[in-house]
Chain A
Amino acid sequence: MIAPMSVSLLVNGEPVDAFVLPRLNLADFLRENLKLTGTHVGCEHGVCGACTVRISGEIVRSCLTLAVQTQGASVETIEGLSDSGEIADLQAAFRERNALQCGYCTPGMLMTAQDLLKQSPTPDREAIREHLSGNYCRCTGYQAIIDAVEATAKARAGRSS
């Protein structure tokens, strides 16, 4: 069908039903149709990471995912992670350490960093660099971002022990 197709999914826990063209990618669907503009679009070919979202709990590139592919899926965006408080400490650490300047990369960085911290509670700087290797930042020079993620990991480890 080149014509619009129906798609039903959960976005940040809320059911969404829509009619979309097959060519519409998930990033544009979130931004244009749902006005969730926290998901940024940089390159549209998978290289920059600004469009990173979670589908079924796993991080993916929303510019390389078609909206119609999310039929029945649960999509979480930066708005969802932010509003639920899941990454409040990580956001605070980014702010404290100047790990953002223009903020264009920040939603994708936060999504990817939180993904790492869920899988590996005490990553070293090398592991942090590796996990964030697919996310470009044109402002900070990365060191402050690594600092913020490392500090959050240590603080969380301290809290849970």
Chain B
Amino acid sequence: MKAAAFAYARATSVVNALELLAVHGDKAKVLSGGQSLMPAMNLRLLSPDVVIDICDLAELRGIVVKGNVLVIGALTRHVDLQRSADVATYAPLLRDAIVHVAHPAIRNRGTIGGSLAHADPASELPACMVTLDATIVVRGPGGERRIAATEFFKGIYETALSPDELLVAVELPIAPAGSTCFFQEFARRHGDYAIVGLAAQAVVKDGTFANLRLGFFAVGDRPLLAAVAGKLIDVFVTPASLAEAAAALVEELDPHEDQQGSPAMRRHLAKVLLLRCVAALLARPELDTGAAG
């Protein structure tokens, strides 16, 4: 299908974009890469009166290191993350995740700001933000707000952004020295949205986790920072304690049913990923016994 008629405005600055949003309110939609907005408009799931294209706002594009944080502008495209040496060095989890986001032609247009504002619970980048303890920076008529990623995602396609605000950047603490990461997802086909996925970052000292953050996605209405990680920190992990953690993980998940899988299948796959992740990060293959139950 084709999109319904709308008016098109190209914002000339962030201030101008905010003015346009203030005038049109929730009758307007921000257009970034268009890789989620245009499908929704073509399917007539969305019919905004006004589309505000922010593609010219060069101030929102780019990746810079500022002290201990990596700042990524909202308009930075998936392909820019994929090619960035700074991302590979300071946020290797993002480098590992980004190749699972859609396909090359879509990564050439899709942006990090668009992906986070869209907040599809099966998408990779929101989970990475939660795992990496990112801060989402948004600007509105009242000025700037800084929101912890763990507070930003509110539900399926729902975030803490209000219709008159623009997501401008994300700030990631740079990966601590000696940290390691793990990213895996189950998908029908490379580049499809995940059936279940896990984005994890850890610090391992003397064979135990000094820190561990487990961001699961497609297991509920928003990315989940699993509390069960706490059971695995500062203790020697045994097959028994890991099995206990896997059983506790299942209680935290609230997976949905769709054509790709049942809640029971998603719970099972999340356990499989937990075992693989812990075994890989601790470099103890014997922990991934395949007995996820």
Contact = CB atoms under 8 A, between A and B. Distances in A.
A60 B3 contact: no
A25 B103 contact: no
Contact of B8 (A60, A68, A130): A68
Contact of B4 (A23, A28, A49, A63): A23
Given A66-B34, A134-B102, A44 B42 contact: yes
A64 B39 contact: yes
25 contacts: A22-B5, A22-B7, A23-B3, A25-B42, A44-B1, A44-B2, A46-B38, A49-B103, A59-B104, A59-B105, A60-B105, A60-B108, A61-B35, A61-B106, A63-B38, A64-B34, A64-B42, A64-B109, A65-B34, A65-B109, A112-B104, A115-B104, A130-B191, A134-B102, A135-B103
Interface of B: 1-9, 34-35, 38-39, 42-43, 51, 53, 55, 79, 99, 102-106, 108-109, 189-191
Given A44-B42, A49-B105, A5 B2 contact: no
Given A44-B2, A44-B42, A22 B108 contact: no
B138 to A, nearest CB: 24
Contacts of B7: 1-2, 22
Contacts of A52: 105
A146 to B, nearest CB: 14
Interface residues of A, number: 32
A134 B105 contact: yes
A45 interface: yes
Contacts, number: 90
A6 interface: no
A134 to B, nearest CB: 3
Given A64-B35, A65-B34, A22 B191 contact: no
Contact of A63 (B8, B42, B103, B189): B42
Given A23-B4, A46-B38, A68-B8, A60 B109 contact: yes
A68 B8 CA distance: 8
Interface of A: 1-2, 5, 21-23, 25, 28, 44-46, 49, 52, 58-61, 63-66, 68-69, 112, 115-116, 129-131, 133-135
A59 B42 contact: no
Nearest to A132: B103
Contacts of B42: 25, 44-45, 63-64
Contacts of A130: 99, 190-191
A63 B38 CA distance: 8
6 closest cross-chain pairs (CB), A and B: A134-B103, A22-B8, A45-B39, A64-B38, A59-B105, A133-B190
Contacts of B53: 69
